[in-house]
Structure 1
Amino acid sequence: MKWDMLSYFFPMKYYIGECLSHGYLPFWNPHQFLGYPIHADPQSAAWYPITWIIGTVFGYDFYAINFEFLLHIFIGGLGIQALGKTLKLAPETAFFMSISYVFSGIIIGNAQHLSWIVSSAWIPFVFVTVLNMFKAPNFYTAIKASIFIFLLLTGGYSGFFIIVFYILCIYTIHQITKCLRKKSFSKLWSILKYIGIMSVSTLLLSAGYIISVLKVLPYFSRGQAITLEQAMQYPFSFRAFTSFLFPYAAATNIEYWDTELSMANGYFGILSLIFIIFFSLRKTTKKAFIPLIIGCFFLLAATGNATPLRGLLFRYIPGMNLFKYPSIFRYFVILFFILSAGYIFNHLIKHFQHYKTAILKALLISSLLITVLIAYLSFQVPTDAIYNSITYLVKMKLSPNGSITANIIIQGFFYVFVLLGLTTLIYKNKSVNHAIIGLLVCLTCDMILSTQLNIGATVISNRNFKAAQDGFNTLQDGFSTANYHNNTIKDAIPEKSNALNIPGLYHNLNIFDKQIGFDGSNPFQLTNYNLFKESHYFNTTLNNKLIFLSDSIFPIKEIDTQTPQIPSHLFFNDADYHTLSRLNLSTHQNDNITITTFSPNKIVAKTHTKTQQVITLLQNNYPGWEVYINKQKREIYTTNNTLISAILPSGNNTIEFRYTPKLEILGGIIALITLVLCLLYSILKFRRMKESQ
């Protein structure tokens, strides 16, 4: 794997796994940005059951993160199979759609974005269960739908959830209108009742996640709407439409595509594209037209500011101003185009003899056009450009400044070979079954080949996997107090990291080293942390250890006016400063702090001080933190805009900093009980249904 998979998702999963496998709940991450509530980070998957299972049972290493990636691709394929069955399509058609889906441009292009892959795994199941619930409303389908929505919400990317929510709302309105038009009031009541059950079940299953996210919004630097300019970053540009036919073209010359490399692949199969072009407008395949129109709607949104649609959605549809990347809409382009192609394929194989000639014409015309294009382009590109493209392909490496034309020629050559082979098979073979098998084999070869062409650019890195895993095995297991005694926070820099020697790891290394960090690669940052970071005293304060003593206090307005020289200077809000400035505070040379216990959610230290003074934990103050001195709860003061401070009495004391998000814990308990009950009910109901058959 590469890029965000290793720089963000892997460190987060690793940390959650370390917490769970050592008996701690993954609530607080002290190793980035002076600590933050990881359970409130929507992309961390801290509430996602599969993360909990893998993290608890196995822990996360390079094997585990690759396994989770492949597992969700497999689940997505099963989901499309189930969707085909729900839509009453032939098994061959369901297979056709499934292969097109699991090797599509969204899976291959966005392989680095694990939350996108997780979303692609559960969205088909959400659609399947909701469709079944509307066909035959009952408690069982409502509960199943709520489970899949919960998995999508807690494990996937929030942008997908928002879009799916609106799709389900529109479909619900359509079904309600249909019932009203037919005066089917009993069915309408049944639909509304089970929508209510599904909604309540989803809320209960997601209670911990929802409470965490809602609570963090006022404290989160991106808790408000993003700007229109941010929302337009990385569209599926008009130039990227080339990838509908030649995805290998999008694997090189990154700047040409007017977007980010992972957002430029929209491939869903050469056969699917041929079927849509040649057969979608026929009256006999009108079922294919509706998903095609829906796909085109999302295609306009995916282009970003090239068309007005994304801007209109941003301005007028609630929630559409909360996520970036217009190219996220291309997932729904691919999904609905595959559905359209599936309906066409289903109709063609049912009436194969009738359409045999038309299919042969479509394949021959496509082969001829691609051949002409290859012949023309061959005169436009030097031979060494094609040789270089083949070299990068063999080495499975990204060619940042390669020849797009050369890549088109290479992929076009394979297209002609496969399509002419399929044409010959259909023409010479009178057996319908053999022809269908030929179509499916052709599709599978095409999708696997296209994946192999692009895999080096957006999926895998050329680093030595064994060397990476061997290096990973040398990392410290668990959490040790030894990590936090001697070093100042400023010492935790990537250049000193042990994890830097592990191939593939280059961001968020403090998590692997178990070191308190003041930075990181993560969009989830607390607002008060950013205020502190922008102040003059930020770098000076980092010269302290994790817990430090101070007798020098000042009003917060002086944090940017004082010369930043003394690390122990603390800045309080006006009310606290007015109260505490009257105290007699002083530090002495023999005062000391010894950390006796360190865990993600609790830090215990013993102190010996001659006089009263301020003790500070270099972590962000966030609701849920509590301070106990000699088992007595003490008041927390926020210093330097974000740090956790308390008044420490003289003498020998035991101080405990404890992060206990009580409301989130209650939500988690409710979610766990609900999940167990839903799973038990679903399993028992499924067994009874099987026995009755």
Structure 2
Amino acid sequence: MKKNFTYPDTLLPFIMIAGAVTLYFSGILFTDRTFFIGDLYTQFYPWKDFARNSLQSGTVPFWNPYVFSGVPFIADVQKGIMYPPGIVFLLFDFPIALKIYLVVHFIIAGFSAYVLARALGCDPAPAFAAALIFIFNSFFASKINNLAALGSASFLPAILYTFKVFIDRKKATFFILGSALLALSFLAGHYRTYINNLLFCLLFGIYYISFYGKGFRITRLLKLFIFLASALVMSLIITMPQSGLFFELLFNSAASVIPDYETLAVNSMKFINLFTMSAPPHAGYASLSGWSGYSRGINLFLSATFFFLLVISAFRKKNHLFYFSFIVFILALLLALGKNTPLHSFILKFAPFFTEARFPGTALSLLMLPAGLIAANSLSVLSEPDTGKKSEKVFLKYLLYFLLLIPALLALFNRQASAAFGLDNISMIELTKASLFVLAMYSLNFTLYTLFNKKLIRPAIYHALLIALIFCELYTFMSRTNPVTAQSGIFGPQFTPKTAELIRTSSYKYGHIQLPEAGSVYRLNYVTRSEKNFKLSLPSSSGMTYGLFDAFGQNDLKLLNYTRFVNRLNRDDGYNSDIINLLNLKYIISPVELDSKKYEKIFNKNSIKVFKNEKAYPLFFVSQDTKIPKMLISQISWSRKNEHQFGNLKVNVTNGQEGWLIFCNSQYPGWTAYVDNMSAKIEPAFGLYMGLKLQPGVHEILLNYTPENYTYYKILFSLIFIFCLVLGVVKLISLKR
């Protein structure tokens, strides 16, 4: 293995990676088709559409009134408003911007993974294999539905490479570059992946100072901690004002409260799911439920050829890079297994921020790069025939015999296996298919291995065939796992669902009650059927696209006061109708029948029912009290400067007696009010909303939202920018001399 690498010795691997990415996305790049996956339609499309419309109208989208009774918009880093590559969503329509965004990030990830592998001593072919596994493994590929997680994860190899070079050369340029890349990982929007990237940088740094340079010393370890802490601080400072606004939102959100352990570990990977590393679920066809398992980290597919290489590596010479990669690989798996291992609960006690509520599988972001490096090492040690031990060949042969028995055993002992694994009949059939797939791929790999050892295949050809098998497996199953459909039928206001047309209003909200997973894209086998049920039900944040105000929504960063308020909705005897009314729920979407005495059914199609609630409170009303709503007679009209200016409202009120103007919008720091040109104090109302004390008469009220510390964050960023600019000029002058 070569140990010195400073620049690409050939462009061929980069051309091949770009070609592989182009082939992978050929189903959408050269057609009018696009991906139709949960979060793309229900979150990222509405968010990008909202941001684009707001900015094009000259409005900075500080506030989003469409979900959770109002929530900060630009402060949420998941929206990616300040992420530089995200500008494509402002310049192009969403389907085109999505294609550009995906291809660019897959290429960035592939190129940087290859460069890192080469820098760590891998030869070109193994480094190329490492890049393919990194970008086409099931966890990374399924992040097509989560643009924030994809963006954050794609920069990890580049961050590690720049930090490695900084440790080697001690040049500030690489420290600044690494911090900038870390900042991009944060701005991409998935702060959990950003935290995982920081953890990987720490583990990689400890490994690197232990085996390179002067070896491990306490002083080098202390310098590493200082270096990483400085890089972290630098990355957060240069991302101002985004980082400042985000941490304000984070501390005011429900995510600041650690839930019970069962909630944290509800979607833990099961041990049986480890089998999916070498055999994809539903190996015979593309499946939406298969994608859901990949995206949540419940399933993981790295290819059967990877499994074969991993087995061989147990008998061959291994370097310290392999051992480091294998340790991180196992650590990530143990975290993804969640409640099924004691490690998950142990780590939660000391570092709860390393886990994500409901999805322990996000730890698999730590596994992708080590998996590629493990494969690279295994390919490297397969450079010459007959170098393996005799025990290696014997083990591989008996493992083949064992794999031959598995399908037969599953068929003969179907009931016993079903009870042991907790699987239904359909899942057992899929497990049998998967075992046949593993058997076929292992047999092919074993045949090539045998021919290679008999010197019937040259080493270069053998490497090429193994890499081709890895890519073919990942391409065949991963490219088909993410469902696609005609983009003209999904994105755009011209295809407004009938339910959206029916419930459009500016003074009330809609919401879902008892919406089952059957109404979700995850459980639907056909895109055409999902278009009917999924779009009609207006799930998650999709109502934003049609100008609808959702009392609920879907996002981990909902405000803490909102979460506590909504928790009062459920009662043992049903739903709390007072909370439903106070949430402005004029329209209720439900798959089940509701009390006809309270709610009028106005729509019923494809198991989606819409009910009208005549007792819902409007967006603005005058109440006698802020503890218990007692509506007083008043006349209210309101307006905003333009269609997309939701943080600047003018309200005209005529009330006959003293009371409180209730603004059914979540109270959050940064809102200010003026009553008849006089500054007025905003008081909390009903534990969620905003209230203004009014005397009898005619009033003009101005409500404005600007993030509380936004100006200070901008000043801090400007000072840092000027400082870095001066340093750059000084550097240029010194170079000239």
Deviation of 1:96 after TM superposition, in Å, equals 0.7
| Change beyond 3 A, Cα 1:436–1:426 | farther
Give the match's secondary structure for 1:641.
Answer: coil
Structure with the higher helix share, 1 or 2? 1
Q: How does 1:183-332 map to 2 (within 5 A)?
A: 195=228, 198-248=231-281, 262-283=296-317, 285=319, 287-317=321-351, 319-320=353-354, 323-332=357-366
Offset from partner CA, 1:243-269 (integer Å, 9 cap, x none): 122123588999999988842332223
Counterpart residue number, 2:478: 451
For the residue of structure 1 that corresponds to 2:489, the secondary structure is: helix
Whole-Å separation in 2 of the counterparts to 1:7 and 1:77: 28
In structure 2, how many angstroms separate the alpha carbons of the residues matched to 1:327 and 1:485? Answer: 38
Equivalent of 2:469 in 442, 450, 455? 442
Give the aligned partner of residue 641 of structure 2. Answer: 597
Query: Counterparts of 1:400 and 1:508 in 2: how far apart (Å)?
Result: 32
* CA distance 1:600–1:417, change in 2 (3 Å): farther
Task: Give the equivalent residue in structure 2 for 1:645.
Answer: 691
State the Cα distance separating 1:318 from its structure 2 match.
Answer: 5.5
Structure 2 match to 1:338: 372
- Quick one: distance in 2 between partners of 1:176 and 1:418? 37
Q: CA deviation at 1:613?
A: 5.1
2:508 corresponds in structure 1 to 489
CA distance in 2 between partners of 1:121 and 1:265 (Å)? 20
Preserved CA contact (<8 Å) 1:629 1:654: yes
Q: Specify the code of the residue in structure 2 equivalent to 1:75.
A: I
Distance apart, 1:173 and its partner CA: 5.5
Contact 1:464 1:503 in 2 (8 A): no
- Among candidates 591, 600, 620, match of residue 548 of structure 1: 620
Q: Residue type of the partner of 2:83? A: Y
Deviation at 1:625? 0.5
Unaligned runs of 5+ in 2: 1-35, 415-425, 516-530, 570-575, 585-614
SS in 2 for 1:620: coil
CA contact (8 A) 1:129 1:141 kept: yes
1:198 corresponds to which letter in structure 2?
A: A
How many Å separate the matches in 2 of 1:359 and 1:271? 20
Of 17, 20, 28, 2:52 maps to 17
Aligned-residue identity in percent: 18
Alignment of 1:400-549 (within 5 A): 403-410=430-437, 412-413=439-440, 416-417=443-444, 420=447, 431-452=458-479, 455-456=480-481, 459-460=482-483, 463-469=485-491, 471-473=492-494, 487-490=506-509, 506-533=539-566, 534=568, 537-541=578-582, 542=584, 547-549=619-621
Deviation at residue 628 of structure 1 after TM alignment:
2.5
Change (3 A) 1:483 1:664: farther
Q: Tell me: CA distance 1:177–1:427, structure 2 relative to 1, closer, same or farther (3 Å).
A: closer
Q: Structure 1 stretch 636-645 or stretch 355-364: which is displaced more?
A: 355-364
Letter aligned with residue 548 of structure 1: F
Aligned to 2:526: none
What do residues 651-676 of structure 1 show as CA deviations (whole Å, max 9, x unaligned)? Answer: 66543211101413542564478579
**8 Å contact kept, 1:7–1:508:** yes
TM-superposed deviation, 1:99: 1.0
The separation in 2 between residues aligned to 1:273 and 1:400, in whole angstroms, is 22
Matched with 1:393 is none
Deviation at 1:546, TM superposition (A): 5.7
Please report how far the alpha carbon of residue 618 of structure 1 lies from its aligned counterpart in structure 2 after TM superposition.
1.8
User: In 1, are the aligned partners of 2:63 and 2:72 still within 8 Å (CA)?
Assistant: yes
Kindly indicate whether the alpha-carbon contact (under 8 Å) linking 1:179 and 1:188 is maintained by their aligned counterparts in 2: no
* Counterpart position of 1:26: 61
Give the structure 2 partner of residue 582 of structure 1.
none
Give the whole-Å Cα distance in 2 for the aligned partners of 1:501 and 1:177. Answer: 53
1:150-200 CA-partner distances (Å, limit 9, x unpaired) = 122232433333333334335556677899987999988986775565344
Map 1:654-665 onto structure 2 (within 5 A): 654-665=700-711
Task: Using the TM superposition, give the Cα deviation of residue 16 of structure 1 relative to its aligned residue in structure 2, in angstroms.
Answer: 2.7
CA gap 1:487/1:221 in 2 versus in 1, 3 angstroms: same
> Once the two structures are superposed, what CA deviation does each residue of 1:64-113 show, in whole Å capped at 9, x if it has no partner?
34543443333221221121122132222221111112221212455434
Matched, 1:621 2:621: no
- The answer to whether the Cα contact below 8 Å between 2:637 and 2:651 also exists between their aligned partners in 1 is yes
2-side partners of 1:665 and 1:474: how far apart?
Answer: 40
In structure 1, the partner of 2:404 is 372
1:148 aligns with 2:181: yes
Secondary structure (helix, strand or coil) at the match of 1:528 reads helix
The residue aligned with 1:576 is none
Aligned to 1:573: none
* Other structure's SS at 1:248 match: coil
Residue 74 of structure 2 aligns to a residue in which SS? helix
**Which consecutive residues of structure 1, in runs of 5 or more, have no partner in the other structure?**
383-398, 477-481, 570-586
Shift of the alpha carbon at 1:242? 0.6
Kept after mapping to 2: 8 A contact 1:248/1:411:
no
What is aligned with 1:132?
A: 165
Residue pair 1:467, 1:503 contacting (<8 A) in 2 also: no
Alpha-carbon contact 1:285-1:344 (below 8 Å) kept? no
Is this contact kept in 1: 2:264–2:360, CA < 8 A?
Answer: yes
TM-score with structure 2 setting the length: 0.72
Note the aligned Cα RMSD (angstroms).
4.7
Partner secondary structure for residue 207 of structure 1: coil
Count of residue pairs brought into register by the alignment: 629
CA distance in 1, matches of 2:662, 2:626: 16
Structure 1 range deviating more: 648-657 or 623-632: 648-657
